[in-house]
A = this chain, B = another copy of it.
Amino acid sequence: MKDPQTVFVEYLSAKRRKMTAQRQLILDVFLAETGHPAPEELYAKVKKLDKSIGQATVYRTLKLFSESGLAKEVHFGDGLTRYEPKFGHTHHDHLICERCGLNIEVVDERIELLQDELAAHHSFTLTGHRMYLYGICQSCRLV
């Protein structure tokens, strides 16, 4: 599998868009992320490395990541659009604690299979899915 750097550069050149220092910087910061960062968070981190960067550039670049397949937009329920790194990460769903915000990435192959089956039953060709399980985690329950 190609590394994200290559994927992005190839995506850009295929679309006759350009690689720039800003995009490179945002990409580096994004690839170092472990969670599901929102544009503001990334903007804050990127700004520490390059004071002159504008937040519109961060928004625009994240959208490029999404188009190029490096990231996926997710919505956890606060009003923010978060970007989930897709590279290296295999598909997963989310188990979210409603009290403390703890977010565990989960996958259950049996569920995945049933989802395909369910879609097929309605004559849909599945392109993707999102599943969010909400609850209270163990430590919050004990408080």
Q: Which residue numbers of A lie inside 8 Å of B, CB to CB?
A: 73, 75, 77, 95, 97-98, 104, 106, 108, 110-111, 114-115, 118-119, 122-138, 141
Please state if B131 and A119 are interface contacts (CB–CB under 8 Å).
Answer: no
Are A131 and B134 within 8 A (Cβ)?
no
**Quick one: which of B98, B127, B130 contacts A98, CB cutoff 8 A?**
B127
A-B contacts, 17 of them at CB < 8 A, read A75-B77, A95-B122, A104-B122, A104-B124, A106-B122, A108-B114, A110-B114, A115-B131, A115-B133, A122-B137, A124-B138, A125-B135, A125-B141, A126-B134, A126-B135, A127-B134, A130-B131
A118:B111 contact, CB within 8 angstroms: yes
Contacts of A114 in B (CB 8 A): 108, 110-111, 114
Complex: A125 Cα to B119 Cα, angstroms: 28
